[in-house]
Amino acid sequence: MNVEQFKEELARQGYPLTERQVEQFRCYFERLVEWNEKINLTAITEKEEVYLKHFYDSITVAFSHSLSDKAYHLCDVGSGAGFPSIPLKILFPSLKVTIVDSLNKRIKFLELLVEELELEDVSLYHDRAESFGQNAQFRESYDFVTARAVARLNVLAELCLPLVKESGYFLAMKAMRADEEVTEAKKAINLLGGKWIEDTEIHLPETKDERHILVIQKVKKTPKKYPRKPGTPNKQPLH
């Protein structure tokens, strides 16, 4: 997907890009490739692949839930090189974004990126999701929480649902059908105050690669004991 195709496809979805936004994506790509030589941010560095499999793919979250209506607050857990939150922030400037990542090198990259792209209302935290979710300042305060290819759903639910406010949504991005993961995570989702809504299937342009957005709504408060100590959700997933 070249830049023109990227613009055309987003316009077709109802999101025409301004020249400023096109420039921000261009700069994002350049910094991503530049920093990837110093620290491991992504295995995908070819321009057309980055635009399709990182930038466009990140924006597909907005195809299932409109993020343009008002200044929603979104928290991106385990964001890595800023996916999906930074492409979403470029597309929806009124979005308030919080990024949590456990690797400080990635946070340093994102600090530079946010400054260079002149993005406002972006907060970056070097922290484990488990301890971040127990912080009263952040717990149950976000309209949307996203996670892209971070862990299995029963683990992700424990990391992300404590951050979602009641009536908000946890959106887990997966590259393939996750029926087995959903079945495995149903009890955990209910225990953590969530309600399973749907699996939104999307196909990327050109390659027709399958993508899935697993939609979980927060319907009641998460019990205070969750998330458990750092490392525990991965070692002892809820069943």
Using the CB atoms, write b or e for 124-157: b if 16+ within 10 Å.
Answer: bbbbbbbebbbeeebbbbbbbbbbbebbbbbbbb
- Give the residues across from 33 on adjacent strands: none
Residue 129 is assigned to a ligand binding site:
yes
Determine whether the annotation assigns residue 180 to a binding site: no
Report residue 198 as tokens: 């749907």
Q: Is 152 annotated as a binding residue?
A: no
- What pairs with residue 203 in β-bridges? 210
Residue 235 tokens, joined: 């070692």
Amino acid at 74: L
12 labeled binding residue:
no
DSSP string, 140-193: T-EEEEEEES-S-HHHHHHHHGGGEEEEEEEEEEESS--HHHHHHHHHHHHHTT
Structure tokens at 118: 């002149």
Task: Give the residue ranges of the annotated binding site.
Answer: 78, 83, 129-130, 148
Task: Give the residue ranges of the annotated binding site for S-adenosyl-L-methionine.
Answer: 78, 83, 129-130, 148
